[in-house]
């Protein structure tokens, strides 16, 4: 077993993002979460890994930009200041333009050799404006909710397993119940096992706010279409998640040997992987 920087064990926890990477490609998981902390005979120089981690897939960036703008607007609301759709759209367009002006050089796909056409920036600008218009159109429904938290990292434990969550918006209804909201900027589907993500949010909120499961609601808001999908979890479902998360986390930490993290190469995934350059099994 390789020697790891002690800091790794301080920050090592389960998250839904880790879950997705683990189930997509364990080699990518190794590079993302373990390789930067290897101290003895690393397969790849940790400094190289840390440099590659600065790149971001173009598909992730467009969602991040929208979330950043929404978070800024919610903060205004929480401070009892007026929200501003025109300013939100203007700020979003400026952020997209910054990426366009540098030719997408910080995109993973660009680093991996893909040319980023001008039409891509037009697309994310139009898509972002659609999402922001939808968000502002739905916001009156949230005005009666007390703003408790938004876009903050929180941690809790399931047994000995640390869990990290980041809820987009936590609101308290007039009757005292909580609603955990997650803004989705992509397709209106369940491709990414969102139920597990929302269940983890509920487990955190039960502990953080000392609430029972029936006092906590969750919802996905798809900003491209305006559709809202609510979730309600029964105790049996939550118990299953409480067993699933530690079991998966144990698998993630059963070994820190490079060879125990097999690659799952595919042309689309490898092109969007920031570590393709150092992966011998990449498929480009």
Enumerate domains of the chain plus CATH numbers: 6-54+254-278 (no CATH), 58-142 (no CATH), 146-247 (3.90.320.10)
Q: What percent of the chain has pLDDT over 70?
A: 98
Average pLDDT over residues 268-276: 96
pTM listed for this prediction: 0.94
Q: Please tell me the predicted confidence (pLDDT) of residue 1.
A: 81
Q: Please tell me the predicted confidence (pLDDT) of residue 193.
A: 62
Structure tokens at 30: 């190794």
pLDDT, tens digit, 9 for 90 and up, residues 153-201 = 999 999 999 999 999 999 999 999 999 999 999 876 655 568 999 999 9
CB 27 within 8 A of CB 279: yes
Looking at every residue in the chain, the average pLDDT score rounds to 95
Beta bridge partners of 182: 220
pLDDT at 95 over 90: yes
Name the pLDDT band for 206 (thresholds 50, 70, 90): very high
């Amino acid at each position: 077993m390789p020697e790891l920087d002690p800091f790794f064990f301080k920050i090592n926890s389960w998250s839904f993002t880790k879950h997705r990477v683990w189930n997509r490609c364990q080699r990518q998981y190794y590079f993302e979460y373990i390789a930067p902390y290897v101290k003895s005979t690393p397969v790849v120089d940790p400094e190289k890994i840390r440099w590659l981690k600065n790149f971001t897939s173009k598909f992730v960036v467009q969602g991040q930009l929208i979330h950043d703008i929404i978070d800024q607007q919610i903060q205004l609301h929480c401070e009892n200041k007026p929200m501003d759709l025109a300013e939100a759209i203007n700020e979003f367009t400026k952020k997209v333009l910054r990426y366009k002006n540098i030719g997408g050089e910080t995109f993973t796909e660009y680093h991996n050799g893909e040319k980023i056409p001008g039409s891509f920036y037009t697309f994310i600008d139009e898509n972002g404006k659609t999402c922001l218009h939808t968000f502002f159109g739905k916001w009156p429904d949230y005005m009666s909710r007390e703003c408790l938290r938004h876009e903050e990292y929180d941690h809790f434990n399931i047994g000995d397993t640390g869990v990290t969550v980041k809820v987009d918006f936590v609101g308290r209804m007039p009757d005292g119940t909580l609603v955990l909201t997650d803004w989705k900027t992509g397709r209106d589907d369940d491709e990414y096992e969102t139920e597990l993500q929302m269940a983890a949010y509920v487990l955190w909120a039960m502990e953080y706010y000392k609430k029972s499961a029936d006092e906590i609601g969750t919802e996905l808001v798809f900003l491209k279409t305006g559709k809202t999908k609510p979730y309600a979890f029964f105790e049996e479902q939550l118990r299953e998640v409480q067993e699933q998360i530690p079991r998966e986390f144990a698998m993630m930490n059963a070994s820190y040997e490079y060879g125990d993290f097999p690659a799952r190469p595919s042309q689309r995934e490898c092109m969007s992987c920031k570590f393709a350059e150092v992966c011998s099994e990449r498929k480009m």
